[in-house]
Amino acid sequence: MAKYSKKSGEEVKKAVKKQKKGTLKSGKTGRKVKSWKQAVAIGLSKARKKGAKVPKKKSSKKKD
């Protein structure tokens, strides 16, 4: 069984394409996205909001 749906893959593809073109902006600040990793994260986030099958975000673990 696949972890990600086709729709989520399409969203990521769109985000990476926009990032390469230089038109992808980040959240509230609206700054240009420079890294492809950030573009992938934005694509997955948008897919999640649209209801596509995407695994939950990993939460950071605090060190003792």
Measuring CA to CA, which residue among 11, 12, 36, 33 is closest to residue 22?
33
* pLDDT value of residue 43: 92
* pLDDT value of residue 64: 62
Residue 61: pLDDT band by 50, 70, 90 thresholds? confident
Q: Is the model's pLDDT at 15 over the cut of 70?
A: yes
Measuring CA to CA, which residue among 51, 50, 19, 52 is closest to residue 36?
19
Q: Is the model's pLDDT at 1 over the cut of 90?
A: no
* pLDDT value of residue 3: 86
